[in-house]
């Protein structure tokens, strides 16, 4: 999960603060020392860390906080607000040209994710009923044009290319004409990168900028490169006046320092986050939601948006009814697993649930997509009767199911046991919703939890 280390450390620190009835200045000072170390360890720029801690401290030792009944909560609230501010405050949307077409130009180092994110943006626009045109201006790597064309085909979005004999500036100019004649309302220009910043690259990008006057110059930066990402952002910004950043590979093993430093160091607002190699793996960057993920408060809003975008509404209503009536079967369960899978990799989804990263055993390996695959295989190896009436599954059937799904009898047993508990739980909910108050699902686990 993104920010996992940082999130764990900050949450430990704040749990200690929460436990205290009253806070003294030295409690706050100690917590701030820990916050400082946690941020530095997450590879946040040292000057950013210094300013951040000073700001939080100044607010946190105010009388209002120290005398409040829940001083720990108060400090967390301040950190949340300051983290949000650090990442740019409010969400920043893409500019739209008053006169079509709107032009976006993607810039960044080689391998940062420009081409991939050109495709992802096209996908978002397409979902919004727009007609984007992709433009292949990376003529230097032989496979670059092809890569964009493959993406275009996959999305059914046209790609404008003049091969690799014509200069990128000329390609961009003609693409704009083409877009106007063919009624494209968006033009997304994929440009070349280098392994490091060089003058020839910058000159070419400046000329393209001159020629097409883009509404946005989006700097694509790889979050995995940490502080280097910040340096890259700084130089691109000085040369090109970029209008926003797309921070990619936030799904990777990144400590998150770049996300927390880029805006503060370069003034460039992060507009999108890339969270995977797939075409849908892109999220608008909301500083407040990101801050609350880091502090373990979850990001329920993003989760709901994802669910709305990919879950079948009728199925959800049907499911809810079944759960209320407690006639939820293993078939429904299989269905539900498939819907959850559509939301994205499970560890990312878990990271958006409040407090989830504190539940032991839920991290990484324990709830992976592979495990869901095994559960699916088990259910698929059951007969229709077994799925609706798991009570009939005796020991010889268990053996057969285990063999058929390539799992073990223990795994089949565990799934059945957990499903049984889940059903009991639903019965309780439907039968005596009132009495359940206060019990809060003791001992209840979703079947994919170990």
Map residue 187 onto helix, strand or coil.
strand
Applying CB under 5 A, among 11, 102, 115, 243 the residue interacting with Mg ion is 115
The reply to whether 249 sits in an annotated binding site is yes
State the binding partner of 252 from Mg ion, ligand GDP, none, CB within 5 to 8 A by kind. Answer: ligand GDP
Closer CB to ligand GDP, 250 or 323, in the complex = 250
Alpha-carbon distance of 303 to 348, in angstroms, equals 10
Closer CB to Mg ion, 117 or 271, in the complex = 117
State the binding partner of 161 from Mg ion, ligand GDP, none, CB within 5 to 8 A by kind. Answer: none
Tokens of 145: 């044009």
The reply to whether 248 sits in an annotated binding site is yes
* Percentages of the chain per state (helix, strand, coil), in multiples of 5: 60, 10, 35
390 DSSP 8-state letter: G
116 in contact with Mg ion (CB under 5 A): no
Closer CB to Mg ion, 208 or 362, in the complex = 208
Closer CB to Mg ion, 248 or 336, in the complex = 248
Contact footprint for ligand GDP (CB under 6 A): 108, 110-116, 193, 220, 248-249, 251-252, 274-277, 281
118 in contact with Mg ion (CB under 5 A): no
Alpha-carbon distance of 189 to 134, in angstroms, equals 6
Binding-residue pattern over the window 158 to 197 for Mg ion, x denoting contact by CB under 5 A: ----------------------------------------
Q: At what angle do helices 395-405 and 369-380 cross, to 10 degrees?
A: 130
Span interacting with Mg ion, options 114-122, 303-311, 364-372, 408-416, rule CB under 5 A: 114-122
Alpha-carbon distance of 338 to 332, in angstroms, equals 10
Beta bridge partners of 222: 248
State the binding partner of 286 from ligand GDP, Mg ion, none, CB within 5 to 8 A by kind. Answer: none
The reply to whether 250 sits in an annotated binding site is yes
Closer CB to Mg ion, 114 or 255, in the complex = 114
State the binding partner of 275 from ligand GDP, Mg ion, none, CB within 5 to 8 A by kind. Answer: ligand GDP
Alpha-carbon distance of 292 to 84, in angstroms, equals 8
Size of the site for Mg ion (CB under 5 A): 2
Residue with the CB atom nearest Mg ion in the bound state: 115
162 DSSP 8-state letter: B
- The footprint of Mg ion on residues 36-65 (CB under 5 A) is none
CB of 182 to Mg ion, least distance (A): 24
The reply to whether 50 sits in an annotated binding site is no
Alpha-carbon distance of 183 to 117, in angstroms, equals 23
Q: If you search the block for the tokens 């209008």, which residue do you land on?
A: 243
CA-based nearest residue to 11, from 82, 79, 70, 88: 79
Alpha-carbon distance of 186 to 179, in angstroms, equals 8
CB of 252 to ligand GDP, least distance (A): 5
Q: Provide φ and ψ at 307, rounded to 5°.
A: -65, -40
CB of 219 to ligand GDP, least distance (A): 11
The reply to whether 111 sits in an annotated binding site is yes
The reply to whether 112 sits in an annotated binding site is yes
The reply to whether 179 sits in an annotated binding site is no
The reply to whether 5 sits in an annotated binding site is no
Indicate the burial class of 75 (C-beta count within 10 angstroms; 0-12, 13-18, 19 or more): buried
Question: Within a 13 Å sphere around the CA of 213, how many CA atoms are in the beta-carbon half?
Answer: 5
Q: If you search the block for the tokens 């009767």, which residue do you land on?
A: 385
The reply to whether 326 sits in an annotated binding site is no
CB of 167 to Mg ion, least distance (A): 17
- Full DSSP string of 329-364: -HHHHHHHHHHHHHT--HHHHHTTSTTGGGSTT-SG
The reply to whether 113 sits in an annotated binding site is yes
Tokens of 425: 């739980």
Alpha-carbon distance of 392 to 386, in angstroms, equals 6
Closer CB to ligand GDP, 38 or 221, in the complex = 221
CB of 274 to ligand GDP, least distance (A): 3
Closer CB to Mg ion, 246 or 379, in the complex = 246
329 in contact with Mg ion (CB under 5 A): no
Annotated binding site for GTP: 108-115, 190-194, 248-251
Judged by the rule CB under 5 A, the positions of this chain that interact with Mg ion are 114-115
Please enumerate, by residue number, every residue annotated as part of a binding site: 108-115, 190-194, 248-251
């Amino acid at each position: 999960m993104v920010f996992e280390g940082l999130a764990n450390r900050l949450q430990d620190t704040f749990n200690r603060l929460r436990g205290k009835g009253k806070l003294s200045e030295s409690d706050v000072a100690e917590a701030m020392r820990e916050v400082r170390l946690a941020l530095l360890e997450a590879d946040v720029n040292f000057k950013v860390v210094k300013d951040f801690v000073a700001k939080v401290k100044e607010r946190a030792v105010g009388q209002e906080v120290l005398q409040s009944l829940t001083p720990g909560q108060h400090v967390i609230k301040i950190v949340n607000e300051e983290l949000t501010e650090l990442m740019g405050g409010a969400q920043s949307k893409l500019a739209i040209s008053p006169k079509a077409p709107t032009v976006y130009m993607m810039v960044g180092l080689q391998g940062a994710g420009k081409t991939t994110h050109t495709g992802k943006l096209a996908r978002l626009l397409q979902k919004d009923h727009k007609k984007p045109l992709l433009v292949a201006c990376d003529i230097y790597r032989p496979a670059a044009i092809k890569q964009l064309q493959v993406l275009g085909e996959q999305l059914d979005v046209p790609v404008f290319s003049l091969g690799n004999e014509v200069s990128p500036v000329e390609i961009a100019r003609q693409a704009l004409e083409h877009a106007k004649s063919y009624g494209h309302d968006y033009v997304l220009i994929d440009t070349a990168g280098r392994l490091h910043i060089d003058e020839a690259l910058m000159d070419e990008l400046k000329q393209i900028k001159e020629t097409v006057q883009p509404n946005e110059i989006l700097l694509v930066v790889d979050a995995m490169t940490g502080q280097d990402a910040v340096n890259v952002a700084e130089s691109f910004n000085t040369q090109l006046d970029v209008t926003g950043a797309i921070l990619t590979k936030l799904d990777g093993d990144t400590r998150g320092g770049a996300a927390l430093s880029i805006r503060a160091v370069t003034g460039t607002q992060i507009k999108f986050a890339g969270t995977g190699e797939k075409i849908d793996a892109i999220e608008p960057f909301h500083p407040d939601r990101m801050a609350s993920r880091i502090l373990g408060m979850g990001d329920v809003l993003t989760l709901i948006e994802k669910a709305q975008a990919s879950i079948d509404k009728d199925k959800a209503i049907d499911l809810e009814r079944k759960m209320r009536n407690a006639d939820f079967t293993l078939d429904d369960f299989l269905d539900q697993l498939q819907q959850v899978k559509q939301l994205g990799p499970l560890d990312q989804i878990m990271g958006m649930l409040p407090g989830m990263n504190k539940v032991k055993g839920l991290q990484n390996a324990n709830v992976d997509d592979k495990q869901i695959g095994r559960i699916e295989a088990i259910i698929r190896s059951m007969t229709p009767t077994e799925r609706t009436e798991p009570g009939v599954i005796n020991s010889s059937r268990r053996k057969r199911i285990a063999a058929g799904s390539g799992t073990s009898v223990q795994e089949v047993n565990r799934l059945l046991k957990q499903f049984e508990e889940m059903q009991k739980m639903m019965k309780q909910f439907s039968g005596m919703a009132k009495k359940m108050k206060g019990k809060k699902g003791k001992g209840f686990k979703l079947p994919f939890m170990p």
